[in-house]
Amino acid sequence: MSSRLREQLEEALFPPIVALLVALICGDLLIMSYGQSPATVYRLLLEGTWGNAYGFGQVLYKATTLTFTGLAVSLGIRAGLFNVGAESQLAAGGFVAALLGLGLSPHLPGIIAIILCIIAAAFGGAIVGAIPGWLRVKFGAHEVIVTIMLNFIVLALLNYIVAARLHMPETLHTPEIHNGAIPRLDSFIPAFHGSAANLTIVLALITAGLAWFYMFRTKRGFELRAVGLQPDAAEYGGVSVGGVWMRAMILSGAIAGLGGVNYVLGYKQYYEEGFAGGSGFLGIAVALVGRNHPVGVVLAALFFATLSQGGLAIHAFVPKQMVEVLQGVVILAVAMSVPEVRAILRRSRKPVAA
């Protein structure tokens, strides 16, 4: 039993470790191409993120959104679906939350307004997730392409609505919401002053916990993972594959939509064109590095958030774009080492005799 756990851990941990080493080497080269010392730059990167409260607050803020999108992508993958649409689901979640926030009376108790806005965000994302789910179940349209295409369609649609109906003059964002704002962390811990970190992080952790429970402890989760691994066997086991796919895409979209809460309710209090800013796509990286396990996803979200915030910390020495290169390198390296590590580990283990 413990050996089984160790095997699983080995398979899960080796690829990110390999990727980290590859990324460090690439980073060295990039830093040296700029005539700087890697050691200094890496130290700055760490100091600017985990070394002070503001930087750490920013890391937490960014990790919050990535946790949602990473969980959304992982849940889909566990059901055998590749949701590349977290980007637009995130935007739709934020948009619907902002709409509701605009419509709510300022006299409504804050906690109720927040809960309503959170539900609205999940709803917005779920709608966008449901479309590719339905097209897959009904017509067999491949969800990868549909979600990619839907990203462009949904973002263009939201842009149109904001531009034509809702924007503040001279800006690309909506007016501030009247109710439903989520408190920032600096209102409890003053050291975080200035950082965007807010209580949405609690929602992210709760969502991660619930996602874990759903996937690994419930009957629905048992069926969902069965469909993801072997749809024919799941069907044999009395599971409706189409039903699982539909449910998985709706849930995945809803979780991605919740990510919109972080920006709209927790940070700016308005919806702004382009606020998703690639967090949906980075969610794929987070899911991949986190090996589609909620604990891994949270850790991977922290890692990518650190990279992203770290770019700002080193910008005086090396352009912050370096971390974008490293993100790409990490994803590639993990994607390449996952099948390889599994093959090597399985070869090295003794086959079980009959």
Question: Under rule CB under 8 A, which residues in 267-326 are in contact with another protein?
Answer: 278, 281, 284-285, 288, 319, 321-326
Q: Which positions from 35 through 74 interact with another protein, judged by CB under 8 A?
A: none
In the DSSP assignment, the letter for residue 264 is I
Please identify which residue in 33, 40, 171, 187 interacts with another protein, judged by CB under 8 A. 33
Instruction: Considering only the stretches 57-65, 166-174, 179-187, 339-347, report the one whose residues sit in contact with another protein under the rule CB under 8 A.
Output: 339-347
Minimum Å gap between C-beta 212 and another protein is 13
What separation in angstroms does the CA of 312 have from each of 55, 63, 315, 323? Answer: 10, 15, 5, 9
Which residues have a Cβ under 8 Å from the Cβ of 136 and sit 6 or more positions away? 81, 142, 143, 146, 245, 249
Minimum Å gap between C-beta 325 and another protein is 4
In terms of Cα–Cα distance, which of 267, 140, 135, 149 is closest to 201?
267
Give the three-state DSSP class for 184: strand
Pairwise CA distance, residues 63 & 55, whole Å: 12
Q: Which positions from 185 through 214 interact with another protein, judged by CB under 8 A?
A: none
Q: Which positions from 68 through 97 interact with another protein, judged by CB under 8 A?
A: 82, 84
Write the DSSP string, 281-338: HHHHHHHHHTTT-HHHHHHHHHHHHHHHHHHHHTTTTS-THHHHHHHHHHHHHHHHHH
Q: Which is nearer to another protein, 40 or 321 (CB)?
A: 321
Instruction: Considering only the stretches 92-100, 148-156, 175-183, 294-302, report the one whose residues sit in contact with another protein under the rule CB under 8 A.
Output: 148-156
Range 347-353, long-range pairs (CB < 8 A, 24+ positions): 349/7
Q: Which is nearer to another protein, 170 or 232 (CB)?
A: 232
What are residue 281's DSSP bridge partners?
none
Give the three-state DSSP class for 200: helix
Please identify which residue in 18, 53, 157, 241 interacts with another protein, judged by CB under 8 A. 157
Is position 18 an interface residue for another protein (rule: CB under 8 A)?
A: no
Q: How many residues bind another protein (CB under 8 A)?
A: 74
Is position 120 an interface residue for another protein (rule: CB under 8 A)?
A: no
Pairwise CA distance, residues 109 & 334, whole Å: 46
Pairwise CA distance, residues 287 & 296, whole Å: 8
Is position 178 an interface residue for another protein (rule: CB under 8 A)?
A: no
Minimum Å gap between C-beta 334 and another protein is 8
Q: Which is nearer to another protein, 199 or 226 (CB)?
A: 226
Is position 352 an interface residue for another protein (rule: CB under 8 A)?
A: yes
Is position 142 an interface residue for another protein (rule: CB under 8 A)?
A: yes
Residue with tokens 């060295």: 28
Is position 339 an interface residue for another protein (rule: CB under 8 A)?
A: yes
Which residues have a Cβ under 8 Å from the Cβ of 331 and sit 6 or more positions away? 19, 284, 285, 288, 289
Instruction: Considering only the stretches 57-65, 96-104, 225-233, 264-272, report the one whose residues sit in contact with another protein under the rule CB under 8 A.
Output: 225-233
Q: Which is nearer to another protein, 4 or 107 (CB)?
A: 4
Q: Which is nearer to another protein, 126 or 227 (CB)?
A: 227
Q: Which is nearer to another protein, 13 or 34 (CB)?
A: 34
Judge contact between 260 and 124, C-beta under 8 A: yes
